[in-house]
Amino acid sequence: MAILAECPRCHRKQKSKNRKCIKCQTDLDKQKRNDKVIYWIAFRLPGQKNITWERIGFSNDDARAYETDRIDRMNKGRLKTKEDLIPKEPVPEPQDTMTFQELSNWYLEQDFLKDKKSCWQKKNSLKNFNKTFGNRIISSITVNDLLNYQTNRMEKDSKAKATVDNEMQEAKRVINNAYQNDKVNEEVLKRFKSIKKVLKRGANKRKVIITQRQYEDIFRKLPARSREPFMVLRWTGMREGEVLSLTWGQVSPLENRMIRLEADMTKDDEEREIPVTGEVVLYLKERYDQVKDQENIEMKRIFSVTKDQFIYDVRAACREAKAPYGRTLKNGFTAHTLRHTFNTEMALAGISQHIIQELTGHSSDEMFKRYLHIIDETKRKAIEQYEEWVRNGDRVNKNVNKVLQNSTNEGNLKEEEDQAEAKQPTKIIEVLVVPKRGLEPLQELLPTRP
C-alpha cells in the first residue's frame, strides 16, 4: 500500500514526497501549498492481482489516515472487495439524537440513586435545568449556552449563586455518568466540565449566632408543635433534617440521655451518638408518656411537624420577635443558626475540637472551622491580652537579642568569626540585612513569653 500524489498539470501519479513532477517538472511543493495536488492510495485487495486506486483528496494527512484505516480493515478481514470501500451511512451517536430530558430521566432511574437521601434534591435541580435544556439535543448544547444559563438564573430569576451551582453540578453528574456508559462522547463531557462555579469558595460563609435571650424570645413565639424540635436543635447541634426525622426508638431508653443516629440518617453516612441535656430529656419524657401505649411506638416519629411547617413557624416567630429571618438579610436567623451557635459556644466553654466534631458530625477540620465563629468580645480580650504582653519592651528586646545571639553562634562558621561575633552584642537589624547562614525558622526569632 502506498500514497501517491497526482500532478495537477500532467496528471502523472508519483511518490508523494517528490518535490518536482518526474514528467513535466512542475513544482509540486508549491502546488501542494495551494491545495492543487490530489492524493491517492494504491493497494491490492486480498486474492486479487490488480491494483486498486482510491482517490482521497487534497490533504496528505487525510491520505495517511485512510491508509491506516485500510490496513487495519484488511488485517481484521473487513476489507475484501471494492464494495467494502463504499462508505456506509454513519450510525448516529446517542448525544446526536437524545435530549437532555431523556438523558436525565435515564440517570434518575438508576438503582444506585433511588436509595440516596438526596435523590429529591437531584430531581429538583434537574427539573429546573430541564426547563431550559430539556428539549435540546445534547450535542447542540454549547459552552456559551451553559454560561448564559448561569447568568440568567442569577439576574433574571434572582436565584442565589449556591442554587445555580447545585443545578449545574447535577447536570455535570448526569453527563459524567452518561460518558462512563458510552451515551455521550468526550467532547460533550469537556463542555460541561469547563463550566466553573459562580460562588467562590467560602463566599457564602455566614457568621451569625444568637444569644440565649434571643433564643428564648423566638422560642416563646413558636406554636407548640415546633417548640420541641426547636429546643432539641438548640441543645444538641443536630441538623434540621436529623431532628425532624427522629423516632422514639432512637432515644429509648430516655434514662440514658442519648440520641442514636443511624448511618443512613446522617449527612456523612456515619453513625453518631449525641448526649442530651436534662431540659431536653424532661420534654421528651412528657411527650413519651402521652404516646407510649401506641403500637410500634419505636418506629413512629417523635415530632409530627413537617419541615415546611417548621420553617413557616420559625419565620413567623422571628417576625413576632422582631428578629431578622433568612440568609439574604444581614444577621438573618435560620434554624441552621442554632447549629452554628452550638459549635461556637461549645468551643468557648473549653470543649476540645475532637469532641465537638464527634457531636456535630463534622468530618473535616475545614468544615468545623466554618461553623466556629469568634465573637467580638473574645477578639477584644485577645487583643488586650496581646497588648499587655507586648508592653514590657525591655524584656521582649532581651529575649529577641538572646535568640538572635544563639542563632548567630550556631552552625559551621569558622571559630575566629564565632569569637569575634560573641564579643559584640547582636543587633536586631543584622538578621534582616546580612544573614550569614540560611534563614532560621520564624518561630525561633519570636520572643517566648516567660
Q: Comparing 74-83, 164-173, 249-258, 420-429, which segment has the lowest mean pLDDT?
A: 420-429
pLDDT at 67 over 70: yes
Cα distances (Å, whole numbers) of residue 76 to 24, 67, 69, 260: 40, 14, 11, 63
**Collapsed DSSP state (helix, strand, coil) of residue 60:** helix
Where does the pLDDT of residue 387 fall: very low under 50, low under 70, confident under 90, or very high at 90 and above? Answer: low
**Collapsed DSSP state (helix, strand, coil) of residue 350:** coil
With b meaning 16 or more CB within 10 Å and e meaning fewer, what string describes 281-307?
A: beebeeebeeeeeeeeeeeeebbebee
Residue 261, Ramachandran bin (φ over 0: left; ψ between -120 and 50: alpha; else beta): beta
Containing H/E element for 384? helix 376-390
Where does the pLDDT of residue 430 fall: very low under 50, low under 70, confident under 90, or very high at 90 and above? Answer: very low
State the pLDDT at residue 135. Answer: 93
Question: Angle 386-390-392 (CA atoms, 0-180°, nearest 5)?
Answer: 140
pLDDT at 262 over 70: yes
Query: What are the cell numbers at 268?
Result: 456523612
Helices 278-291, 224-236: crossing angle, 10 deg rounding: 140
Query: What are the cell numbers at 13?
Result: 501519479
Tell which wins on pLDDT, 23 or 402.
23
336-383 pLDDT tens trace: 888 888 777 777 777 777 676 676 666 555 555 555 555 455 555 655
Q: Average of pLDDT values for 229-254?
A: 83
Tell which wins on pLDDT, 413 or 365.
365
State the pLDDT at residue 298. Answer: 82
pLDDT at 244 over 60: yes
**Collapsed DSSP state (helix, strand, coil) of residue 14:** strand
Where does the pLDDT of residue 65 fall: very low under 50, low under 70, confident under 90, or very high at 90 and above? Answer: confident
CA separation for the pair 15, 55 (Å, rounded): 14
CA separation for the pair 240, 27 (Å, rounded): 80
**Collapsed DSSP state (helix, strand, coil) of residue 110:** coil
State the pLDDT at residue 344. Answer: 79
Burial class (CB in 10 A: 0-12, 13-18, 19+), 387: exposed
State the pLDDT at residue 432. Answer: 36
Q: Comparing 95-104, 111-120, 171-180, 386-395, which segment has the lowest mean pLDDT?
A: 386-395
Top mean-pLDDT range of 50-64, 82-96, 272-286, 412-426: 50-64
The residues spanned by each domain of the chain are 2-85, 95-193, 212-371, 393-445
Contacts for 198-203 with beta carbons within 8 Å, 24 or more apart? 198/150, 198/154, 198/161, 198/164, 198/165, 199/161, 199/162, 199/164, 199/165, 202/370, 203/161
Sign of the alpha-carbon torsion through 300, 306, 307, 310: negative
**Contact yes or no for 229/303 (Cβ under 8 A):** yes
Please, what is the average pLDDT of the chain?
77
Dihedral (C-alpha) 239, 241, 245, 246: value to the nearest 10 degrees? 0
Q: Which residues contact 366 (CB under 8 A, 6 or more apart)?
A: none
State the pLDDT at residue 293. Answer: 81
Cα distances (Å, whole numbers) of residue 161 to 122, 156, 200: 17, 13, 9
Cα 397 from chain centre: 48
Rounded to the nearest 5 percent, the helix, strand and coil shares of the chain are 55, 10, 40
Q: In sequence order, what are the beta bridge partners of 314?
A: none
**Contact yes or no for 239/267 (Cβ under 8 A):** yes
CA-closest candidate to residue 301, choices 229, 373, 379: 229
CA separation for the pair 222, 305 (Å, rounded): 12
Percent of the chain surpassing pLDDT 70:
73
Tell which wins on pLDDT, 99 or 422.
99
Percent of the chain surpassing pLDDT 90:
17
393-410 pLDDT tens trace: 544 445 545 544 555 555
174-228 pLDDT tens trace: 999 999 988 898 899 999 999 998 887 655 566 677 788 888 888 889 998 898 8
State the pLDDT at residue 285. Answer: 82
Q: Average of pLDDT values for 152-174?
A: 90
**Correct CATH for 212-371 of 3.30.413.10, 3.40.50.1100, 1.10.443.10, 3.30.365.10:** 1.10.443.10
Question: Angle 51-57-58 (CA atoms, 0-180°, nearest 5)?
Answer: 125
CA separation for the pair 186, 188 (Å, rounded): 5
The architecture CATH gives domain 95-193: Orthogonal Bundle (1.10)
Where does the pLDDT of residue 171 fall: very low under 50, low under 70, confident under 90, or very high at 90 and above? Answer: very high
Residue 131, number of CB atoms within 10 A of its CB: 12
Sign of the alpha-carbon torsion through 23, 28, 34, 40: positive
pLDDT at 257 over 90: no
State the pLDDT at residue 361. Answer: 66
**Collapsed DSSP state (helix, strand, coil) of residue 143:** helix
CA separation for the pair 302, 310 (Å, rounded): 14
Q: Average of pLDDT values for 296-313?
A: 88
Q: Comparing 117-121, 344-348, 387-391, 428-432, which segment has the lowest mean pLDDT?
A: 428-432
